[in-house]
Structure 1
């Protein structure tokens, strides 16, 4: 039985309510119905079918080969395993290059069972966010280290350490919120900057390698379980299976640590 069986399913408006109430949200990736059911029962609030599936499921060296059809397939599987958590799905590489392409991809993902789509970046993506939001498609923005830009960034690197870069990230965060995003993922951002962004945008922030002051935290499920994905283990990763003793125990330990503020600690954050 779910540890949160008496709680209502999460909705998009509930995200803003959680930020106002100071309730930290726990988010994990999932790629199939079995794990989706397990993490939903263990009390996870938000579930992301990430294009990370390209690396941890398909074995690629980056997220770039992932297609909309790939994400839609896994989204449909995950949706069948959820009862309470809010389901997000990534718009993979270049599927959001134009508003029209993003709309087509988003419709496909929402019809597969997603309740929100996630896209990376600002700049020309602001037009895309606005276009989707105006058509009642909830959007989660993603700033900082954006894996789909790994070639342009020159690798997986912390973003926003220099003063000008930090100012640009803050401005981008405010811009995606104004464009209509309902949620913002901050990846590999120094703790002080993530705290400032969280305090200066009305929408909730979800951190991954962005310190403890975001409105929630997300990890890739395989990282939380200590599985070797064949890639370098990021600093922000913690193996919760080691202390949880089981998949359900690991997920509960993660959710409790996020809500109490115990995770991420300084050793899992960037100064």
Structure 2
């Protein structure tokens, strides 16, 4: 590729061999999975359900619904601990279940209001989701990084895979700033949408932070691990970026790989 000009490189159109291209393409592949409402509790799949119906639901349970359920329950449990309540009592278990159900109902109302609105349903830009959450997932080694240091480390990670001859197509600091600003702005818009529907400000903000934004982070972190492990396998030796995402989908299925990766994150959190 020729040297790119300052205004010809866009974060939402990443170089096809880059780490960012892998994340964006992988998220696009995952979007083809059946849409299970993220506000739903884990779904019970009746015995005898055809595999083509049961397996995507079971993946959604393991990848998102069950982990989110634990996040919500842990949040309520911390509230009880904060006031000195016994969180192991039957009364506490009933209270936790009630509070989680209330939060799910609030989120369900948000989802239904969004779908019923004549305006375009709320959507997230995949590239900005990827970039912002790559930054969140950077190892710190217990040290606090400056904002500049975080941007530099994020850029290096996102540009992985771009050959030297295409160095003009690498992302730069202003790309990360714009993408992060877009993600922050979208998060605020989503939070404001919920605040308009809910009287309880704290509930709306907790719902956004503990569920939706946590799901973004878990997906991006898991996809990064999938890519890293795939690159060590001989069958993917000549693949990178978007082509690697498609190769993984053909050979193992991106959703199945994500399921295993998220499960490992969940086990690590529980350890």
The answer, yes or no, to whether TM exceeds 0.5 is no
| Larger helix proportion of the pair | 2
TM-score (norm 2): 0.29
TM-score (norm 1): 0.29
| Larger strand proportion of the pair | 1
